[in-house]
Amino acid sequence: MAQQTLTPENSVLLIIDIQPRLLAAQPKGEKILKNTKKLASAARLLNIKTIVTEQYPQGLGNTDETLKVELPADTQTFEKKCFNCLEQPELKEYLNSLGKKQIILCGVETHICVHQTATALINEGFEVHIIEDACGSRDKFEHKLGLKRMMNDGTIPSSVEIALFELLKSASHPKFKEIQSLIK
């Protein structure tokens, strides 16, 4: 499959496990949260469907409250215990029902849930754009290795700024100033 630049019409934002207890264990937890909030705000402004997962919320808590307020109103949240999000049948069914093929993927931990989900998405025929500056692992080596494995599996390396400007395509986009303000 030829890789394409992101388009709002064909994209889904998938946010994996941005929960306070997991973020607290990340060396760059605050940066991951900040960048994920930018993606969520952009998704809201550009009408991009958004999916959030929560790994074992009974023990790890729910999605960060400051992120929740940035999410699009129709965001779907799925609890899970599996590392690969597609092993959650309701999530996989919902994702497939959207009929979109580009996944903007971010979250924690890079080498576990993000990696396993990215690989499964690619195997299902999705084009996965991994937002490296909105992903993290407790250990720097594991984070780098997780990214390397995902690239070898066929993900498209990206960042918050790359993704946002791909979605806009032009400074003449009606939401350009609002999106640009997210990264200033």
Active site residues: 17, 80, 113
What is the side-by-side strand order in the sheet with 102-108?
76-80, 49-55, 11-16, 102-108, 127-136, 156-158
In the three-class reduction of DSSP (H, G, I as helix; E, B as strand; rest coil), residue 16 is classed as strand
CA torsion, ordered 73, 126, 104, 167, to nearest 10 deg: -90
- The vertex-182 CA angle with 179 and 184, nearest 5°, equals 115
| Strand extents, DSSP E, the chain | 11-16, 49-55, 76-80, 102-108, 127-136, 156-158
φ, ψ of residue 150 in degrees (nearest 5): -65, -40
| HSE-up of residue 66 (Cα within 13 Å, Cβ side) | 10
Q: Mind giving me the DSSP string for 44-85?
A: HHHT-EEEEEEESHHHH-SS-HHHHTTS-TT-EEEEESSSSG
